Amino acid sequence: MESEHEEAMRGDFRERTALQQSGYRPGVTEEQIDQIYDKVGQIDDRWKAGPHGDQWQFLTDAYSDWNDRPDTMARFVDNVEHNLTQGWDGGLDEVQRRSLYQARELTEPQRPRRRGPIQRER
């Protein structure tokens, strides 16, 4: 994938996720939700039908996985990074690795914040 195509894909995916999230704002009407999902569908269709449909699907799946199983995905990315230091790519190309990082970044605001252990003075 050429860098300009990757940049376009990442920009469109950011737009897609922002649109999707906007459908959950208070006060959004059914008509607005329909318009939002029409736009999301158009973005998806454009990428799925193009020559980089597999990369778009990988990014979409990574985003869903980060939303649904963030702990599992964090361990997976740790393994990918460890394997890279050992000289093994794990079957992922560079675009896919960057997709894992973008999906993590985009899902971070939706994840509940973890609190560390409470420190109490004695």
> Which amino acid, one-letter code, is at 91?
G
CB hemisphere CA count around 55 (13 angstroms): 24
- Prediction pTM value: 0.85
| Beta carbons of 98 and 6 less than 8 angstroms apart | yes
Share the mean pLDDT of the chain: 91
What are the pLDDT digits (tens) for 5-46? 999 999 999 999 999 999 999 999 999 999 999 999 999 999
What are the pLDDT digits (tens) for 34-86? 999 999 999 999 999 999 999 999 999 999 999 999 999 999 999 999 999 99
| Beta carbons of 55 and 1 less than 8 angstroms apart | yes
Burial class (CB in 10 A: 0-12, 13-18, 19+), 119: exposed
Nearest to 106 by CA among 1, 19, 5: 19
